[in-house]
Amino acid sequence: MNIEQLQDHFQQQIDALRQDIQNLREGNHRRQVGQPSAALGNGVESVAQLAQRSTDGSLLAQLTVQQLELERSQTQLHSKQLELEKLQTQLKETQQEQLQAEDDLAEAQTGLAAVEADLLEAQAKLKERNTKIQQLRVKIQDQQNLMGQLLDRITAMESSKFWQLRTRWVQFKRLLGAQEQTTWTPPEIVISTATANPSQQEQKQQLPQTTTQLKKQQPQNRQSQTKKQRYGRKETAYDLWLQLNTPSQADLNRMTVFSQALAHKPLISVIMPVYNPPKAFLVDAIASVLAQAYPYWELCIADDASTEPHVKEVLEEYAALDSRIKVLFRPENGHISRATNSALELATGDYIALLDHDDLLTPHALYEVVMLLIQHPEADMIYSDEDKIDENNKLRDPFFKPDWCPDTFLSRMYTCHLGVYRRTLVHQIGGFRVGFEGSQDYDLVLRLTEQTDKIFHIPTVLYHWRVHAESVTSSAEAKPYAYTAAIKALSEALLRRGEPGEVQEISDYPGHYLVRYQITTSKRVSIIIPTRDLGHLLNQCLESIFTKSTYPDYEVILIDNGSTEPYTAKVINEWLNREPDRFRCYFYGIPFNYPKLNNFGVSKATGEYLLFLNNDTEVITHDWIEAMVEQAQRPTIGAVGPLLLYADDTVQHAGVVLGIGRFAGHSHRHFSATSPGYVGQLITINNYSAVTGACLMVRREIYEAVGGLEEELAVACNDIDLCLKILRQGYRNIYLPHVQLYHYESKSRGYETTPAKRARYLQEAEFVLKRWTNCFEHDPCYNPNLTLSREDYSIREPYDSPFVHDMSHQLGQARNQMKQMESKLEEVQSELETAHAKVVTMETSKFWQLRQRWFQVKRSLGLPTEE
């Protein structure tokens, strides 16, 4: 409900009150003039008639009743007037809030206009730099032409008879031990060539200024402000995010007013088990609930027999302060699961929200939850983003999470804080289980999400997780039992779900897990490889498959797209002889069309699982096929993709994120293969909207159900289109970090560098964008607070967009090009000055002066000259 709707709501109530007041006034008037009261019925006599028969006691009694009714009506009238005044006051406050909101909107629009102005400035700067680059090119060409003329002159001078004679004379003088005069001023009578060739000093004045001089003369850029200064950024990108996303007190006030006007106000029960927290942290945790903009909550606290005396004092003090705070003191310590269940018994709300005794809710946390419930009343579970708060109350380490991704959740408890759950559903599954302490909430969500898929994510930070010496966030050693309990919870979940497997803890990264499923039946895997020439790469690929793979039943289907190299034919024949049962080759000489080649390969394959593989890959992991089949066999899984590495052991592919670079990008590209990635994203199994077709496994039944690869997308984007078709059928796509291959990217086809290839790529990308517009507007496996300009999971900034990134990239390229041009110009200037100095030195030599006089004499006598 927005401000306008709220005003309409208040106005309707005011109109209704005014009508009630008018009705009361009319009733009072009728009584005063002797008209029958509606409350006494149409047959009651008027006051005047009653006065004439005042001796009748019953009539006097009726008159008294009527008078009392009149007084009661007047009281009601007064009450209604007070209520009217209160509503009018609220309406006025709401109007003021609306004006404030309009001012805030105007300020935001001003900020946006500033960003747009900066973009225009960047475009102008780019144009200016391109113009300058062109001017530098012209100057360099001019200087090179001039230098060519000087070199020609030097060559002519050195080849002249007089200069050859001079050279011999100098050599003769050296033999005699004489010193050559290096500088000499010609006498005034010499006819100089200065009129035809400028002097060295004049020549220097005509040369372009040096790079240093040019830089000194450039005007400073907008008061020399950096982007950081112009956009008010603080120390980190997260500081800026907090500055832009933390609600002001006026915002919180508006939230409270709006909450009070809601027709349905769900009660949120905040559940907080307590055991010996530091006093300051406990006080802050309770205060964060009292500060909520949404007022319809109850704080249910169960103290688990704390031994610190300050705990009881603080809890009793706050329970007396606010009736919404309920406290239960357990007689004996039962650990966190029992304590949480005790707090849960106090709850009467529609939903429960979990809060640790040393953490904080943001002031708008419960309000955001209720706003989502208004849109999605069917929600059974809600979670938000979170960050950490240290002992000095410094906020850091934000965790911007994806929407609900079930397989990501099996890798780590990423939903954690803030978690909100339907209370009846929590009771239905038995609450928190004893024996899972430290991961009791992980176990709860595993069981709860087996009962519902109505799970929603609020993509903003609503919870501050306290980091101190005794918290589980500070180190893995703080609560090692928590990780043991998590493995137990995951293992039981696999058994309940009928997907038996082994839960492995990822070494050096506690709290991150790898699920390896049992393969029910080792059905055949058909590995389909399109190829054309590049026999050495093909041989490397096939060698790695046949020598490293340990899966018992697979075949390799090679689709030869018109190879002509003899070596490639030799490689194919060798493998046909070496692997006659597992290797087959089919010739398909069409113009390159990746989907057609693979669809043709599928028609020749006999396997239940299809594994599409590029010929420029090399297997690293021996059980790579097993690991992919483990996932592909699961009924919920569609496309399965591995971790692909460049030759330098950096990441080439770890899942595809939609929207990056105005289309799609590879997660963590160029990160080290040993990096954990963003909050463990690289080292864990995760759901992604798409995986690359360079190595992709899918069950044949799914591939055929979605129509295979789209043949209209001949070269690019067809793998993303396939993955999105699989998502549309209700399956989940998945990335496996423990399956690793090298990918010598685009060795066969090359990169999209030529204008024709670039145009074709853009056309195919546009095809996919139009078909899947909604998917590209928001990738559910990626948080909207993260960048769309890079592939590094950094925080998105206000001016962070693919367009701005492209403009920045173009400016950077122009800047580098200018530096190269200026460096080239300096080199040419230096060569030109050297050449000019050589010409001057030659022209001022004694032999050249003698030559010039000799030609003067010959011309005076009318004799021919060699010049």
Which pLDDT tens digit goes with each residue over 736-773?
999 999 999 754 444 455 677 777 888 888 889 899 98
User: Which pLDDT does position 238 carry in this prediction?
Assistant: 92
User: Are 692 and 413 contacting, i.e. CB atoms less than 8 angstroms apart?
Assistant: no
User: Which pLDDT does position 24 carry in this prediction?
Assistant: 62
- Contacts of residue 589, defined as CB under 8 A and 6 or more positions apart, other chains included, come to 560, 561, 562
Preceding peptide of 87 cis, ω within 30°: no
What is d(CA 700, CA 697) in angstroms, rounded to the nearest whole number?
A: 9
More confident call, 677 vs 208: 677
The mean per-residue pLDDT over the stretch 332-356 comes to 96
User: Which pLDDT does position 226 carry in this prediction?
Assistant: 41
Confidence category of residue 381, pLDDT binned at 50, 70, 90: very high
Residue 715: is its pLDDT beyond 60? yes
More confident call, 207 vs 308: 308
Q: Which of 102-116, 120-134, 524-538 has the lowest mean pLDDT?
A: 102-116
User: Which pLDDT does position 19 carry in this prediction?
Assistant: 73
Which pLDDT tens digit goes with each residue over 392-426?
889 999 999 999 999 999 999 999 999 999 999 99
User: Which pLDDT does position 714 carry in this prediction?
Assistant: 84
The count of residues in the chain is 867
Exposed e or buried b for every residue in 438-462, given b needs 16+ CB within 10 A? bbbbbbbbbbbbeeeebbbbbebbb
Which pLDDT tens digit goes with each residue over 111-121?
666 666 766 77
Give percent of the chain with pLDDT exceeding 70. Answer: 75
CATH class of 520-796: alpha beta
User: Which pLDDT does position 162 carry in this prediction?
Assistant: 63
Mean pLDDT of the chain: 82
More confident call, 805 vs 276: 276
Confidence category of residue 193, pLDDT binned at 50, 70, 90: very low
Which pLDDT tens digit goes with each residue over 21-39?
667 666 655 555 444 444 4
Residue 275 tokens read as: 């055991």
Residue whose entry in the numeric block shows the structure tokens 């790079």: 211
Residue 31 tokens read as: 């009584």
> Which of 2-11, 431-440, 468-477 tops mean pLDDT?
431-440
SS (H, E, C) 472-536: CCCCCCCCHHHHHHHHHHHHHHHHHCCCCEEEEECCCCCCCEEEEECCCCCCCEEEEEEECCCHH
Q: Do domains 262-479 and 520-796 have the same CATH topology?
A: yes
What is d(CA 487, CA 503) in angstroms, rounded to the nearest whole number?
A: 6
User: Which pLDDT does position 552 carry in this prediction?
Assistant: 96
Residue 363: is its pLDDT beyond 50? yes
Residue 766 tokens read as: 């546009």
Residue 241: is its pLDDT beyond 50? yes
More confident call, 67 vs 713: 713
Residue 841: is its pLDDT beyond 60? yes
Helix (H) / strand (E) element for 652: namely strand 651-653
More confident call, 125 vs 352: 352
Residue 729 tokens read as: 């059928």
730 phi, psi to nearest 5 deg = 95, 5
Residue 475: is its pLDDT beyond 80? no
Which pLDDT tens digit goes with each residue over 130-189?
777 777 777 777 777 777 777 776 766 666 666 666 666 666 665 555 444 333 233 332
Task: For the beta carbon of residue 345, count every other beta carbon within 10 angstroms.
Answer: 12
Long-range contacts of 622-625 (CB under 8 A, 24+ apart): 622/548, 622/549, 622/550, 623/550, 623/551, 624/548, 624/549, 624/739, 624/740, 624/741, 625/525, 625/549, 625/550, 625/551, 625/554
pTM attached to this predicted model:
0.68
Domain boundaries, given as residue ranges, for the chain: 3-132, 149-211+829-860, 262-479, 520-796
Residue 813: is its pLDDT beyond 70? no
Fold classified for 262-479: Spore Coat Polysaccharide Biosynthesis Protein SpsA; Chain A (3.90.550)
